[in-house]
């Protein structure tokens, strides 16, 4: 299977399972790194526009969206119809994204899903000097070797990630009205608390 053929096959299976026909589908949106492998996608629908419309559909009062995923951070300002009015993305680096938490998980040999709960009881979050995915693991191990408490280190990492996200929100025009937090990092309790 080539990727284009695979997407076509999945689409046909979805049509059959739903009882719909192609003529009943207005358009197909494809997002993410594999979007170009979907030859029948609507090329004007992007990850940003899909995200904006979905957030407003689920939460009609939403006007500001923060999405922290595995590789990027998006701050999106929308109108009541879900149209993008302003946005900012992180640079090409994965600093401050879910990938940074994955690196911490690997460096500390702690399952990814446990990072948030372990950070919650922290009393003195440490100030992290980096959210760089490459260097964060080394800084975490250094801080452990200096006797810092694991929960304080993890809380400091979560705070650094959210501070980076807030700077991106600020550059998009700040928060207005209802705020929606999405992406894999939104499932992390410590990140939500820091936000």
CB 122 within 8 Å of CB 154: yes
Per DSSP, what are the bridge partners of residue 73? 68
pLDDT of residue 192: 96
pLDDT of residue 138: 83
pLDDT of residue 37: 84
- Considering only residues 49 and 132, tell me which one the structure prediction assigns the higher pLDDT: 49
Model confidence pLDDT, tens digit, residues 50-59: 889 999 999 9
Running DSSP on this structure, what letter comes out for residue 175?
-
Is 0.95 surpassed by the pTM of this model?
no
- Per the rule left: phi > 0, alpha: psi between -120 and 50, beta: everything else, 19 is left
- Considering only residues 112 and 139, tell me which one the structure prediction assigns the higher pLDDT: 112
Residues 130, 157: Cα–Cα separation, whole Å: 9
Q: What is the mean pLDDT of the chain?
A: 90
Closest listed residue to residue 143, CA positions, set 110, 177, 111, 108:
108
DSSP of 22-36: GGG-------STTGG
- Give the percent of the chain with pLDDT over 90: 59
Residue 1 has pLDDT above 60, yes or no: no
Question: Is residue 3 very low, low, confident or very high in pLDDT (cuts 50, 70, 90)?
Answer: low
Give the three-state DSSP class for 62.
Answer: strand
Pairing of strands 73-78, 62-68: antiparallel
């Amino acid at each position: 299977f080539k990727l284009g053929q695979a997407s076509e096959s999945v689409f046909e299976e979805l049509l059959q399972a739903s009882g719909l026909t192609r003529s009943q589908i207005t358009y197909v949106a494809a997002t993410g790194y594999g979007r170009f492998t979907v030859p029948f996608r609507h090329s004007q629908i992007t990850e940003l526009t899909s995200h904006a419309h979905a957030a407003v559909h689920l939460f009609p009062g939403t006007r500001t969206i923060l999405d922290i995923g595995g590789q990027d951070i998006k701050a999106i300002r929308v109108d009541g119809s879900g149209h993008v009015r302003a946005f900012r993305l992180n640079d090409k680096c994965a600093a401050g994204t879910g990938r940074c938490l994955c690196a911490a998980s690997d460096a500390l040999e702690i399952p990814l899903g446990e990072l948030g709960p372990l950070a919650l009881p922290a009393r003195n979050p440490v100030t992290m000097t980096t959210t760089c995915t490459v260097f964060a693991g080394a800084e975490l191990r250094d801080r452990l070797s200096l006797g810092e408490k694991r929960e304080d280190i993890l809380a400091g990492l979560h705070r650094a990630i959210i501070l980076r996200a807030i700077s991106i929100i600020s550059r998009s025009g700040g928060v207005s009205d209802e705020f929606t937090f999405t992406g894999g990092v939104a499932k992390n309790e410590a990140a939500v608390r820091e936000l």
